[in-house]
Each structure stands twice: as structure tokens, then as C-alpha cells.
Amino acid sequence: MGPVLAGVLQLVALIAALALAHVPLGTYMAKVYSSDRHWRVERWIYRGIGADPDTEMRWPAYLRGLLAFSFVGVLFLYLLQRLQGVLPGSLGFSSIEPAQAFNTAVSFVTNTNWQSYYGEQAMGHVVQTGGLAVQNFVSAAVGMAVAVALVRGFARSRSGELGNFWSDLVRGVTRILLPGAAIAAVVLVACGVIQNFSGIHEVGQFMGGSQQWNGGAVASQEAIKELGTNGGGYFNANSAHPFENPTPFTNLFEIFLLLVIPFSLTRTFGVMVGSVRQGYAILATMATLWVGFVALMMWTEFAHHEGALQIAGGAMEGKEVRFGVGSSSIFAVSTTLTSTGAVDSFHSSFTGLGGGITLLGMMLGEIAPGGTGSGLYGMLVMAVIAVFIAGLMVGRTPEYLGKKIGTREIKLAACYLLITPALVLVFTAASMALPTPPHSMLNPGAHGFSEVLYAFTSASNNNGSAFAGLNANTDWYNTTTGLAMLLGRFLPMVFVLALAGSLAEQTPVPATAGTLRTEKPLFTGLLVGAILIITGLTYFPALALGPLAEGLAA
């Protein structure tokens, strides 16, 4: 079997698995967030944190709960890292330096999982399991809670109430993420991923000498890392490491995990607003972009005329031979079109155009299908923009799901769209213009610029992957990427929740002959076009200086 055919068959198998999971998982999540009953363990949690899960919240109260919870998470994880040297199970590792501890705490609380450290050489069992893995659950649940709040904004009328943040957070963890991660961890262990709390071992090498490796609760962290679209690796090589991802099957299974909740949330959206066809329209938009990006990536990585690359079956530099070009291309596109950031190959070693595709995937806003929750609310904001554009074309007030898109709504949607590009471009420009540490950017020219652009695109969009040639463990990059992650996570949430509150206060308007049918293929095409055009106009000059220049030169 040729490598191209193998890649296509893996893609087909992945699509089939996602299709099988879409309806049952999406419907189940809708029931989770619509139920008025609480599990006993959930009631214990509510008592412990002093929350009343039955109190309805308007958007300012919902936002205050979200920000307070996230602030406590950053503080706890920062202190855990600073105290690591005196904690049991530290494996002899010292405490993390302040700038790096701040960066890592922010990274995991914002669902970014940007790592400027070597996991196997810096973090002990307590920090990995009691700190980082816990945030993998709760940060994903926060994103899902915001998405559900926006869906309620479309579904409710004349109330302004969006549900209860604490109830949405706890249910997301106890009823969705914990059971899913437990099942996934068992599968990964059965397929060879390690799961232990062993110390450091001396391991012999084939060519002589030895190397030190530590064990860890890797399978359990790998499961929620992918299922919650987090992405932080237990080891520096991330999902390219055989302890995290040993076989072609586990590689495909991990891709399935990072896509299954974001794609299934479109079904949740359709069920909660009372029209599953609306959910299918959003799903079709996400799927069109994802399949298109995978096809482009495979083409750029397989299509080479040089003799060495033809013999290798494609651009194999930086890719694991046990996965090959096809599977690595699917993983790279999936991890950058979601907010995952996990890697099974090194994106800096992709072709110039291939690296540009990973960049563009993040620049879209990671909405195809996006992260757990963040992809759905990002796509719904883009849908608001699309119906506004359609309204301008025909000269009538735009409507979406029976809600008028007026001045307030379009301003909030526009602010959501503008904040992330502003962070990416301003921080990239500052890093290129200011005398930052000269040893950070190891490659000159267009590729070096791409490394810096990729870093801030990844941080601001809460992705977490990186071009490996950039040394980001400096005070400048630890601080600036930390700020980009904070602002890129929570400022958009402010606008999303304000938009949800504004929509929930409205009285639905009945559909007329002039209403845009947003469940039809025409709207899907309009939405895809709006996403690509808006992103292209925003980022094309920066892409032209980096990956496009590099790709055309090659």
C-alpha cells in the first residue's frame, strides 16, 4: 500500500468514527446541560465551594464566576510549581523559576498548554498530576460552559439569564470529561502508553551509553490532553514520544479524541435551540474547512520532485516513520484547527507552505472544529457576522435563529474578531523590532519570522503548539506569551457572554419570506467564504513575509 493511499484510508476511517459518535455524544451533552437534576457527588462539590447550582445568572455574574475560578487556578498552579522542590514526588527536580512558573500556570488555565520547558526534566509527579492534569479538565469545562451559555442566549427570550456557571463547570467535568477520559486512558494503556509513578531509570542505548527516563501517569494525562483539546505533553517530544503515542492506531485514536467533542457540540447546539438542521449547517462548515485543510496539507507534504523526498514517500523530515506523512498531516491540521496544540511531528520541519497551513488554521480562530467549547462559540460569532453581511446585501435587518443582529450585537462580534489578530500582530512586531535575546530565534530570514509569528498566533489563540526553532524560555517570551494567552482567552469570553446576554433579552421574531435560511447549504457556503476572506484580509501581509515567502522560494 502506498503512503498516499494509506493516508487517505486513515482519513476515511477517522471520518467514519466521528460520524458514529456525533449523534449519541452530541445529544447526551445537550441532556447534560439541560437537566435540572444534580448527582450526589455534584452536590458535595457545590457545598464545598459554597455555590448554589440552581440560581440563574445574567452574563455579568456568569463572567465573574468564570474569572474568579480561573484566577484561583492560576494562583494555585503557580504556587505548586514554585514549591515543587520541597514537595514529595518531585523526582529531585527543583522549583520552577518565577517567569516560567507564571507562563506555565497561565498556559494550562487558559487551555493553551504552551510549554517552554522539558516535561521529563522539569516537572515531578505532583505538579504533572495534581496541577497540570487537573487544569486540563477544568479549563476544557470552562470553554464548554461559555459555549453553552451562548447557545442559551439564542434559545431563550426576554430573560437575559444564561444558566449557572458553577453547574455548567461541574457537569462538564463529572458527566462528560471524566468518563470520556477514563475510557480513553484504558484504551491507551491497552495499546502501550505507560501509566505509573516510577522514578528515574537509566536506560541503555543501541549505540552504547545510557539515557535517563522517568515514568509517570502518562495515559491518564494523554487522554484528557486530547479529549479536552489541551495539548501539553508529559514529555518534551509530546505525542511524537513512544511513551505517549506508541503505534499508528494510538495516533489515529488521539486524533479522534481531540476532534470528537468539538464536532459533536454542533449537535448539542442544534438540539438546544430546537433545530438539529441548524447544527448540521455549522457542522458542514467546520467539516468543509477541516477536510480542505487536510487535503492541502497532504498535497504539500507528499508532492515533491526531489529524488530523496520521492524515495522517502514525501517530506519525512521531522516526522515519525511509524506514522508517516499522511497521518502526521492529519494530526497537524487537526491540532491547529482545534485549540489542542499537541504534535506528533515538528511543524517547523514541514515544508514552507505546510507550515503556513498550520499557521492559517490557528488564524481562522480555531473554529474547524475548534477547541472544546471555544470552537462552537467562535463559529457562532462568525455566523452572526455572516448573517450581518447577508443583511447588508439585501438591505434588511439581519436575523439569526429568530434574534435580530443589531448595533450592539455586531459591535460585540466585531470586538471578538479583532482582539486576537491585534494581540498576534502587535506582539510579533514588538518581538521583531525590540532587542529581544538574540539566541531565541535560531533561524534567520522568512523561517525565523515564521517562528515568532507562529509563537504568538499559538499563544493568542490558546493553541500551544510551536515551531521548534524558537527558544521561548526567556523572560521576554515567557512574559509576553503569558499575557497573550490571558488576553486571548478571557477578553473574547467577555464579548461572547455579553453577546449571549443581549440575545437572551430579545423577543424572537417570526421568520418571513425574506429571512435568510441559515440551515441551508447556501448559508454554509456564505459562512465558509466569510471566514476565509476575513482571515485572509487580516493576516495575509504577515503570512507573505513568512511561510508564503519561504514556500515560494523553495
- Decide if 385 is inside a domain: yes
Query: How many residues belong to the chain?
Result: 554
Q: Contact 135/109 with Cβ under 8 angstroms?
A: yes
pLDDT of the residue at 362: 94
Other Cβ atoms within 10 Å of 384 Cβ, number = 25
The model's confidence at residue 175, banded by pLDDT at 50, 70 and 90, is: very high
If phi > 0 it is left, if psi is from -120 to 50 it is alpha, else beta; for residue 395 that is: left
HEC assignment per residue over 45-72? HHHHHCCCCCCCCEHHHHHHHHHHHHHH
At 552 the pLDDT is 75
d(CA 135, CA 138): 5
Lowest mean pLDDT among 94-98, 272-276, 374-378, 512-516: 512-516
pLDDT of res. 513: 76
Any domain includes 273 = yes
- What pLDDT, on the 0 to 100 scale, is given for residue 438? 55
Task: State residue 108's pLDDT score.
Answer: 96
pLDDT band at 311 (very low <50, low <70, confident <90, very high): low
Q: How many separate domains does the chain show? A: 1
213 pairs with which residues across the strands? 201
User: What is the predicted pLDDT for the residue at 408?
Assistant: 95
Inform me whether the pLDDT recorded for 437 exceeds 60.
no
Contacts of 471 (CB under 8 A, 6+ apart): 437, 439, 440, 441, 442, 477
Place of cell 527558544: 471
Please report which confidence band the pLDDT of residue 259 belongs to, taking 50, 70 and 90 as the band edges: very high
Please check whether residue 190 lies inside any domain of the structure.
yes
CA-nearest of 302, 324, 326 to 314 is 302
pLDDT of residue 421: 95
Question: Is 274 inside any structural domain?
Answer: yes
Query: What is the C-alpha end-to-end distance of the chain, expressed in Å?
Result: 29
pLDDT per position as a tens digit, 1-22? 578 888 899 999 999 999 999 9
- When pLDDT is cut at 50, 70 and 90, the band that residue 306 belongs to is low
Peptide bond into 246 cis (omega under 30): no
What's residue 316's pLDDT? 77
Of 217-221, 271-275, 347-351, 410-414, give the lowest mean pLDDT range: 347-351
Look at 304 and 463; give whichever has higher pLDDT: 463
Q: Is residue 20 part of a domain?
A: yes
367 inside domain: yes
Does residue 206 belong to any structural domain of this protein?
no
Residue 205 inside a domain? The answer is: no
| Grid coordinates given for 407 | 448595533
Mean pLDDT of the residues in the chain: 90
Average of per-residue pLDDT across 399-419: 94
Q: Is the CB of residue 318 less than 8 Å from the CB of residue 345? A: yes
pLDDT reading at 229 higher than 80:
yes
The string of pLDDT tens digits covering residues 459-470 is 999 998 888 778
Model pLDDT, residue 176: 98
pLDDT > 60? residue 41? yes
DSSP 485: H
Enclosing domain of residue 348: 3-200+211-553
Higher pLDDT, 115 or 553: 115
**Percent of all residues in the chain with a pLDDT value above 70, rounded to a whole number:** 96
Q: What pLDDT does residue 397 have?
A: 79
341: left (phi over 0), alpha (psi -120 to 50) or beta: left
pTM: 0.94
pLDDT by residue (tens digit) across 480-535? 999 999 999 999 999 999 999 999 999 988 887 778 899 999 999 999 999 999 98
| Per-residue confidence (pLDDT) for residue 84, from 0 to 100 | 92
- DSSP-derived secondary structure for 379-423: HHHHHHHHHHHHHHHHTS--EETTEE--HHHHHHHHHHHHHHHHH
> CA of 342: how far to CAs of 81, 257, 292, 374, 392, in Å?
22, 12, 20, 17, 40
Q: Where does the pLDDT of residue 64 fall: very low under 50, low under 70, confident under 90, or very high at 90 and above?
A: very high
Residue 310 has pLDDT above 70, yes or no: no
Q: Taking residues 382-394, what's their average pLDDT?
A: 91
